[in-house]
Structure 1
Amino acid sequence: MVAGITASLDPASRVAGNPEKLSANAKLSFQGSIVLGLGFTMEPADAEKLIAHDARNSDVLFPYLNGQDLNSDPNCAASRWVINFHDWTEDRAKAYHACYEHVLREVKPERATKSKDIATWPWWRYWRSRSELYGEIAGLQRVVVLTRVSKTVMPVMVPTGQVFSDAVVVFATGDTAMLALLSSAPHYWWAKSRGSSMKTDLRYTPSDVFETFPLPKLTQELRHLGDRLDTFRRDVMLARQTGLTKTYNLVFDENCTDKDIEELRAIHRAIDEATVRAYDWEDRIEAVGGLDHGFHQVGRETRYTIGPAAQREILDSLLELNHERYAEEVAQGLHDKKKGAGKPQADEGTLF
C-alpha cells in the first residue's frame, strides 16, 4: 500500500512539509575557501623552491585540493599549491617577501578589474577564507570531504594541513563511521532530493543537505565498514590508477563483474544495511520488500543502489525524523530567532 499517487504517477510521500536545519548538525559541514584569484596558486615544484629558499614560507604555502583532484586523482591528492595569508594584515603578509610579491604581481591586477566589492577587498586575502572551517578541523589529522558538484556524491578521507577549494565540501570529523554514513544510499537519496542539479550532476549544498539530515547513532559497525571502504577503495584506485569518477563508473556498470568492483559493491551493500540498523528501521524496510540492491535508474544514468520502494520509505522516514528532531530542538530553545540562531557568519558569503 502507498499513501497515494502523484500527478506524475509516482507514489505519494506519507510525510508533508520541508525539512528544517538542525542545531545538532551545525558547524559540521562547510564549503571550502573561495580564493578568487588563480594567481594565488602555483605548481608544487614552485612551492618547494620557495620553501627551500626560506623555510618560513611553509607558514603560507599549502596543497590546494579542488573538486577535480578529488574526482580524478587516484590518491585524491592536490595537483597544485596555494599561498594563504589567512586573515592577516598586509604588513604581516609582507614579512613573507617572495610570496607577497607573487600575489602582488599575479592577484592584485586581476582583482582590480572586478566589481567594487571585490576590487576594494584586501587583495592579499581570499574572498572567503572560511576561517570557521579551519578552526573546527585544527586538531584533526584527517577529515571527510566530497566534491560539491558531482555524479558520484562519494566522500573520501583526506589529510588536513591543506587549503580546500570552494568546489569541496568538508565535514569537520575524522570519524570513519561518518565516512560510511555519508557513503550510504540513505544519505545519497537525501542529497538527491534536497540538493540542486547542474546538468546531470548533483550540487551538494551543506545548508540544504547535511544541516537538515538527521543523523543516527554512529555505531562501531559503521566505523568498521568506513575503515574497510577507505582502505579497500584506495587500493582499488591505486591499482587501477583511476579516480573516484572512473572507479564508480565501473561500480554503476552492470556489465562490470571484476572481482574488486564486486567487492566494492558488497561493501556499499553492507554500509546501507548497517545504516538502516543504526536508525533502527529494519522493520519498516522489511515491510517494503527490503533494500532491493541493484542497478536502478537515476534520471538518465544507472546507479548501483537501493530500489524505489526502499528509497521512498527512507526519504519519508528521514523527513519524519527531521521534523521530530527539530521539534525537540525548538522545545529546548535552540531555535530562538531573537538570539540570532541560524544567522550566517560573516565569513559565509559567496559570489552567487
Structure 2
Amino acid sequence: MARSEKVDYREVVRPYLVGEDVAEHPAQQPRRWIIDFGQRPLEATLRYPAAIKIVRERVKPVRETNKDRFRRENWWSFGRPYTAIRAALAGLPRYIAAGRVGKRLLLTWCEPWTCPSDLVYVFAFDDDYSMGVLSSSTHSAWAWSQSSTLKGDLRYTPTSAFLPFPWPYPVTDEQRERVAEASRRMISRRQEICAEQQFGLTRLYNLVDEGAYADLRKLHRELDEAVAACYGWPKSIAQDKHEIARRLFALNAEIAAGQRAYDPFAGRDGRSVAQQLGLPVD
C-alpha cells in the first residue's frame, strides 16, 4: 500500500448489532464494533494494518486450534460468511432486524453497514409496507403458532415461521400505502417514547401491556386493521390471534395446493425472496 493512500477503516469495521441492542437500547442501536473483512483474501486485509493486527493477535491463536478446517485456514474471516444474506442486503438503504428470542418479536430498522450477530434475524426489506406486515398481529399470531418457545419466550424459526407465512395477495396500492403509513406512525411514536424515557422496546411494551401509552396501543391497532384489510378480513378479527392463525393456516393450504394465485413479491428476484433470511435455495 502506498504511503499516500488513505485507509478507510469503515470498510471493514462495522457496528455490531446483538439481540440485546434491539430489545434494550433506546434507539435500537449497536453498542459494539466488529472487524469484518467479508470475503476478502488475506492479502487484501493488509490494506487495513491496524485491523488485521488485532485479528492476528486475538483471533488467529484461537482459530488455529479449531477443529473446523475452514475456520482454521481462514482465520481472518467469519466462521460463517453468510454470503446469501450479504447478497440479499446488497444495495438496500436499510433493512429490518429482529432478535431471535423474546417475549415478543421486536423489529427495528438498521443502517446498511450494521453487522447483525448470529442472534439477530435479518429481513431483506427496505419498505414500510413490509415492516408493517411483519410488525402486525397477523404475523405475530402466525409466528407464535409456527415457532418453538424457550422458557415461555418466542423463539422465531425462519424455516417454519417466515418462509411459509402467507403474505396478503393481491394488495392494492391504496391498501399497501395504508399499511406503510400506519407502520411509519407506529414506529415514529415508539421511537419518540424511547428517546424521551431512555428505555428500550422491552421496557416500553411491558408498560403497554400494563396499560400505559394508550396512543401507541391505538397505533398498533390501526396497523393491525390495515393489514387485516389487505387479506379482506373484517376489523373485528384484527387482534384475535386464534382466528388469525386459523385463517392463515387455511390460506397457506390453498396456496400450497395451487388453489389460489400467489405472487406477493412480484418484480423481485425469486432467489432473493427465498433468501430473505439467508436461507439456501435448491
TM-score band w.r.t. shorter chain? 0.7 to 0.9
Whole-angstrom distance in 1 between the partners of 2:37 and 2:217: 43
TM-score by length of 2: 0.84
* Residue in 1 that maps onto 2:228: 276
Percent of paired sites with the same residue: 32
Matched residue type, 2:92: L
Whole-angstrom distance in 2 between the partners of 1:317 and 1:329: 15
Whole-angstrom distance in 2 between the partners of 1:113 and 1:201: 35
Quick one: which of 299, 303, 313 aligns to 2:243? 313
Q: Which runs of 5+ in 1 are unaligned?
A: 1-52, 293-305, 333-342
Whole-angstrom distance in 2 between the partners of 1:57 and 1:223: 36
* Residue in 1 that maps onto 2:269: none
Change (3 A) 1:85 1:145: same
Quick one: which of 281, 288, 291 aligns to 2:237? 291
Quick one: which of 215, 233, 237 aligns to 2:190? 233
Quick one: which of 197, 205, 217 aligns to 1:265? 217
**CA-atom RMSD in angstroms:** 2.7
Contact 2:186 2:219 in 1 (8 A): yes
Quick one: which of 101, 104, 108 aligns to 2:53? 101
TM-fit CA distance, 1:291: 3.3
Matched residue type, 1:207: T
Change (3 A) 1:119 1:129: closer
Answer yes or no: is 1:72 the counterpart of 2:24. yes
TM-fit CA distance, 1:116: 3.5
Contact 1:149 1:201 in 2 (8 A): yes
Whole-angstrom distance in 1 between the partners of 2:17 and 2:73: 24
Whole-angstrom distance in 2 between the partners of 1:320 and 1:348: 25
| SS of residue in 2 equivalent to 1:74 | coil
TM-fit CA distance, 1:115: 2.9
Change (3 A) 1:192 1:229: same
* Residue in 1 that maps onto 2:178: 221
Change (3 A) 1:324 1:79: same
Quick one: which of 72, 75, 93 aligns to 1:123? 75
Deviations 1:231-257 (A, max 9, x none): 111111101101111111111114x3x
| Number of residue pairs aligned between Structure 1 and Structure 2 | 260
Matched residue type, 2:186: L
| SS of residue in 2 equivalent to 1:209 | helix
Deviations 1:4-62 (A, max 9, x none): xxxxxxxxxxxxxxxxxxxxxxxxxxxxxxxxxxxxxxxxxxxxxxxxx9532221111
| SS of residue in 2 equivalent to 1:180 | helix
Contact 1:121 1:127 in 2 (8 A): no
Whole-angstrom distance in 2 between the partners of 1:71 and 1:127: 26
* Residue in 1 that maps onto 2:210: 253
Whole-angstrom distance in 2 between the partners of 1:55 and 1:207: 40
Following superposition of structure 1 onto structure 2, how do residues 1-352 of structure 1 map, counting pairs within 5 Å? 55-117=7-69, 119-216=71-168, 217=171, 219-254=176-211, 256=212, 261-282=213-234, 290-291=236-237, 306=239, 310-328=240-258
Contact 1:63 1:163 in 2 (8 A): yes
TM-fit CA distance, 1:121: 4.7
Whole-angstrom distance in 2 between the partners of 1:348 and 1:122: 22
| SS of residue in 2 equivalent to 1:207 | helix
Whole-angstrom distance in 2 between the partners of 1:248 and 1:127: 35
The range that moved more, 146-155 or 320-329, is 320-329
TM-fit CA distance, 1:168: 1.1
Contact 1:177 1:223 in 2 (8 A): yes
TM-score by length of 1: 0.68
TM-fit CA distance, 1:118: 6.0
Whole-angstrom distance in 2 between the partners of 1:128 and 1:138: 18
Matched residue type, 1:280: G
| SS of residue in 1 equivalent to 2:158 | coil
TM-fit CA distance, 1:117: 4.4
Change (3 A) 1:266 1:114: same
